[in-house]
Chain A
């Protein structure tokens, strides 16, 4: 009994103790984390705050790390992109160089082949052979055209060609073009209309001529026999719009944007038997127009026809057209009897030139280097009427230097025609400054003849 009472007593005490603990905990829980001003509550609140700050800091640190990671990823990608861009630019540059080199190497033999075939055409041949020779000549002309187109586009891409602005009367150019394409139109049985316009404009004559030639060639190519092609101008405030209209099949609206891209061609008029081109013409036009900052536009209506136009700035006030003597309008002088010296390090070119010039009745002597020239000088009794010089002789030797030497030795200023594949501004300016004529490779026989005639005329006018 006593033991049980003791046990009971112990349990009562234990119960009271537990009650008290319970009571303390209840009080504590009910006080919660309210705004108590007791030191311990204050400590608890500070600890809770510290805990929150720690959690937030961890979160933010994590986020910050993620962002830093993202930034470094982006930087790395940016680096890769930059590298890739540099690689691409490098590749593009080497492509351009390759094209320039290949085209130069291809143009040399092609040049020779053209000279040979031209010489051959001048020979009295029987009809069958004449036909074959003409075909060869045409094929070579096509190859030359394609090649020069490719070279042009690569040059435009590489930024080698720079506009050479001058002020001239638009009519000077358009008259020539009209005359040229009136012939073509006639042979294609297309009606050609030309409305002249004599405003002075400021642009690069040669680039503009190429743009318009392209428009006209396209118009001729796509216009069926019996159709019409019109070349005309429209003057607006401060500008003049040169337009080429045709009555061809027109261009579907969804293809309008595409035609200025490379290798894009529409089906040409099947009636036009002779059709060449890689679909690069308008791509070149686009590049040239962009370089000149002349807007090019096209409007078209299916089954009705198309209009291509280029907008040029008028010449600034007070600037007057330079007096030009258009080469194509020169009177045709006889070349026969003219003494011409050809200086070219390529033997086959020398031979080709010799044959061709012979057929025109010229007396030709050739030299391949400075020593050869000296030899001619010592052998010949008279100086030539015209000196035809390749600009780039063997490595490091400029044809211009040789000419200068010759003139110093003889004390005579000879009419000089410089032949080159180098389209640089610098050379052009230098040749112009010395009063020489420039002819680019591949040499077109007709152009060669015109220039020779021009030089001889100037010489005789003196």
Chain B
């Protein structure tokens, strides 16, 4: 009799716990030591019902050690993630830190797969991979819906072809993602899958959820009149050697009233170029100036394409409009998983709006990272903000 009462109390306690735990747990640590950081994350995220943990970490960490530490503390919980050019934490912008999301299995089921190597990944492979992810052992529920999250090695230069193949295989499943960064060092971008960091690789995560959600993309650019024609380019390395039949850096610098020596990532952030396809402009961001005055881009640019000079507008106003529009559709948001181009952070720093932007992101509970490129609906673009807003949905007792 006494034992039975105890058991009941234990069961009741468990129920109460799972009822009060939110569908998504978030945690962040700015500890530089990988083991300390991992312990801090686990302290907050610890929960018996985690389906998967997705994390974004600075490339400053000793990555093999971080992998070891995370595997230890999250033993038994699948992990996915990538390195960043800055983290979006519950407190806004951060650098040199790690942020993580824990998904409650009553509301989510996440399946992940690694693509490695990236070259040669075509539609057939994409279809196999997506089918594998869809055939999960999770009991399928009729009212649960999918979206896909992609994380790429940001220096692989393979996003366009792989994303096009994935997009065809995903069909109508909403998709977004980001390319891993490394704080503008451009040497060391990784994705994490199955207990280890990988380069020349991508992670595809298929998220199934009972919560309402909206996958979105937004940018704050308006076209100007001036244009440049790409007259020489190497499509595989994303290197543009000539614009308007002149050394690319010279032509670009003249267009914005500077000299090639003055070109820095901050300048690239403030003076973006975009291609116009159909009615839309897609920003192609400049990564760096090479000694031969050629320009490397963060995404593919082809010979003969026309680059339009873009004028950034009020970034936060655009984001605010976008998010409130989504809220009007799916109700009160629970959390937003965001992929924010690192050039946008540079831009807000240049304009002295860093704190304001950081506070805005914290207020809207945006968790994610600063990217080297964003993915949306199979497209690889720059200087955008893309992500998924997860709604609270009905209060459901499971």
Interface residues of A (CB under 8 A from B): 16-21, 23-29, 31, 37-51, 53
Contact = CB atoms under 8 A, between A and B. Distances in A.
A46 B163 contact: yes
B30 interface: no
B263 interface: no
10 contacts: A27-B303, A28-B305, A31-B304, A39-B159, A39-B160, A42-B300, A44-B277, A46-B378, A48-B277, A51-B279
B256 interface: no
Interface string B279-307: 11010000000000000000111111110
B95 interface: no
B71 interface: no
Contact of A39 (B229, B246, B300): B300
Interface stretch (B130-138, B230-238, B316-324, B330-338): B230-238
Contacts of A49: 167, 378
Given A27-B304, A28-B303, A40 B235 contact: yes
A47 B280 contact: yes
A46 B377 CA distance: 9
A438 B16 CA distance: 75
B379 A46 contact: yes
Contact of B302 (A19, A23, A44, A50): A44
A9 to B, nearest CB: 16
Nearest to B378: A46
B244 A21 contact: yes
A24 B279 CA distance: 22
B150 to A, nearest CB: 13
B252 to A, nearest CB: 15
A390 to B, nearest CB: 66
B157 interface: yes
Contacts of B246: 17
B94 interface: no
Contacts of B10: none
Given A17-B245, A21-B245, 15 more contacts: A19-B245, A24-B229, A26-B304, A28-B305, A38-B302, A39-B159, A39-B300, A40-B160, A43-B282, A43-B299, A43-B300, A44-B302, A47-B280, A47-B282, A47-B379
Contact of B231 (A21, A41, A44, A46): A21
A24 B241 CA distance: 13
B377 A50 contact: yes
9 pairs of A and B residues whose beta carbons are closest in the complex: A28-B304, A40-B302, A20-B245, A39-B300, A51-B278, A39-B160, A17-B245, A40-B300, A24-B231
Contacts of A43: 160, 164, 282, 299-300, 379-380
Contacts of B302: 28, 38, 40-41, 44
Nearest to B122: A37
Contacts of B164: 42-43, 45-46
Interface of B: 157-161, 163-164, 167, 229-232, 235-236, 238, 242, 244-246, 277-280, 282, 299-306, 377-380
Nearest to B279: A51
Nearest to A13: B245
Contacts of A19: 245
B152 to A, nearest CB: 13
A16 B245 contact: yes
Contact of B167 (A21, A25, A46): A46
A46 B161 CA distance: 10
A51 to B, nearest CB: 4
A47 B302 CA distance: 14
B157, B231, B379, B380 pick with most chain A CB within 10 angstroms = B231
A138 to B, nearest CB: 79
B159, B164, B238 pick with most chain A CB within 10 angstroms = B164
A11 to B, nearest CB: 14
A360 B250 CA distance: 135
B380 to A, nearest CB: 6
B245 A48 contact: no
B114 to A, nearest CB: 21
A351 to B, nearest CB: 78
Contacts of A39: 157-161, 235-236, 238, 300
B156 to A, nearest CB: 11
Nearest to A47: B277
A38 B244 contact: no
Contacts of A21: 229, 231, 244-245
Contacts of A27: 303-304
Contacts of B160: 39-40, 42-43, 46
Contacts of B379: 43, 46-47, 50
Nearest to A28: B304
A56 to B, nearest CB: 11
A224 B160 CA distance: 102
B14 to A, nearest CB: 44
A47 B160 CA distance: 11
Given A39-B157, A39-B160, A44-B277, A25 B380 contact: no
B159 to A, nearest CB: 8
Contacts of B279: 51
A165 to B, nearest CB: 54
Nearest to A21: B229
A133 to B, nearest CB: 85
B245 to A, nearest CB: 4
A23 B244 CA distance: 11
Contacts of A51: 277-280
B158, B236, B246, B378 pick with most chain A CB within 10 angstroms = B378
A416 to B, nearest CB: 70
A24 B303 contact: yes
Nearest to B243: A21
Contacts of A41: 302
